[in-house]
């Protein structure tokens, strides 16, 4: 079932068209990634979904609500964690949560939320005393304190070290496991690949591809590369009919092809009693797909 529907969204700032034409659909209970490089129009898109900005044209529905017309109702069902959200430096963690909880008709239990986000021992700390990762987790807690059905998380792990980033990913997965639908804005391939059930890849204000990370990889880079050192010379013609073959000086054979190329090469070798030693299969990554599906940046 779809929780968010966006159709032909367009938004300009003066002469700059930030969002040309964005359509997407987010399903209940998934982590939906909005992936794209800096300036692609991701933040503008999610700010419109969250009711913080008004589109020039197009339609948005979040749980059937129009973010502009039904703004106050939307606030109760959508939690927003925005890029670089800063709180008053002296504000104490627990007080911040209590304050935000007071805005909602049916808030979460702040103590439980702190516990879930691993912040219980920082409840008495001031915002300025928190580490980068703790600040991010607090901003997630604040986005969730209203017990939203949908959480929008924008560039959640930017600036975090790898350890804090992984901890934050686990938090996001736990939130999804509680049944919250998550829209995750990111420009990090690893983050999208690891966390997202589906992704909309946005480039220059347009959605250029939508699908699971594996689907995007498959669509963009259908070629597979196999490298090995044959245990005996391979008769000429055996592999060339199956794949594009190149020989390296050190005796390594590289086979490139599509579809069942891996199985076909291995079967052909086996039929000739040849073992593929040091066998390596080159996996395409979401990063390869990103490069293939987006236009190069002009310099």
Ligand X SMILES: Nc1ncnc2c1ncn2[C@@H]1O[C@H](COP(=O)(O)OP(=O)(O)OP(=O)(O)O)[C@@H](O)[C@H]1O
Phi, psi of 103 (to 5 degrees): -80, -15
**Cα–Cα distance measured from residue 291 to residue 273, given in angstroms and rounded to the nearest whole number:** 39
Of 41, 67, 79, 148, which lies in the binding site for ligand X, with binding defined by CB under 6 A?
Answer: 41
The span of 32-40, 86-94, 99-107, 288-296 binding ligand X (CB under 6 A) equals 32-40
**Cα–Cα distance measured from residue 51 to residue 61, given in angstroms and rounded to the nearest whole number:** 10
Residues between 173 and 232 with contacts to ligand X, criterion CB under 6 A:
187
The span of 13-21, 55-63, 90-98, 215-223 binding ligand X (CB under 6 A) equals 13-21
Rounded to the nearest 5 degrees, what angle is found at the Cα of 39, between the Cα atoms of 189 and 197? Answer: 35
- Shortest distance, CB of residue 23 to ligand X, whole angstroms? 16
**Cα–Cα distance measured from residue 224 to residue 243, given in angstroms and rounded to the nearest whole number:** 10
Instruction: Select 40 or 184, whichever has its Cβ closest to ligand X.
Output: 40
Residue 295 contacts ligand X per CB under 6 A? no
Residue 80 contacts ligand X per CB under 6 A? no
Residue 156 contacts ligand X per CB under 6 A? no
| Helices first, then strands: H and E counts in the chain | 10, 13
- Tokens 């310099």, residue? 299
Residue 18 contacts ligand X per CB under 6 A? yes
The span of 38-46, 86-94, 144-152, 283-291 binding ligand X (CB under 6 A) equals 38-46
Instruction: Select 4 or 117, whichever has its Cβ closest to ligand X.
Output: 4
Q: Which residue in 9, 102, 4, 110 sits closest to 56, CA to CA? A: 9
Angle at which helix 93-101 crosses helix 132-144, to 10 degrees, equals: 20
Residues at the site binding ligand X, with contacts judged by CB under 6 A: 13, 16, 18, 36, 38-44, 187
């Amino acid at each position: 079932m779809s929780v968010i529907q966006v159709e032909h969204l367009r938004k300009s700032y003066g002469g700059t068209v930030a969002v040309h034409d964005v359509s997407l659909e987010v399903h209940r209970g998934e982590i939906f990634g909005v992936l794209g490089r800096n300036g692609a129009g991701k933040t503008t898109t999610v700010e419109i979904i969250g009711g913080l900005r008004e589109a020039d044209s197009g339609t948005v529905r979040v749980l059937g609500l129009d973010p502009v017309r039904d703004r106050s109702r939307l606030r109760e069902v959508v939690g927003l964690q925005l890029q670089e959200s800063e709180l008053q430096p002296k504000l104490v963690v627990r007080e911040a949560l209590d304050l935000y909880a007071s805005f909602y008709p049916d808030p979460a239990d702040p103590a439980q939320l702190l516990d879930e986000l691993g912040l219980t021992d920082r409840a008495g700390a001031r915002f300025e005393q928190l580490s980068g990762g703790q600040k991010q987790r607090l901003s997630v807690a604040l986005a969730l304190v209203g017990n939203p059905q949908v959480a929008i998380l924008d560039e959640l792990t930017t600036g975090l070290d790898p350890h804090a980033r992984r901890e934050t990913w686990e938090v996001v997965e736990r939130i999804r496991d509680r049944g919250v639908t998550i829209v995750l804005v990111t420009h990090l391939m690893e983050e999208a690949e690891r966390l997202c059930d589906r992704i909309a890849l946005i480039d220059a204000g347009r959605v250029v591809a939508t699908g699971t990370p594996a689907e995007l990889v498959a669509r963009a880079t259908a070629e597979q590369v196999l490298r090995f050192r044959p245990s005996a010379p391979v008769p000429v013609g055996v592999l060339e009919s199956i794949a594009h073959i190149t020989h390296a000086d050190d005796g390594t054979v590289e086979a490139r092809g599509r579809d069942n190329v891996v199985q076909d090469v291995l079967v052909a070798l086996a039929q000739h009693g040849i073992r593929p030693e040091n066998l390596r299969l080159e996996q395409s990554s979401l990063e390869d797909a990103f490069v293939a599906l987006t236009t190069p940046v002009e310099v």
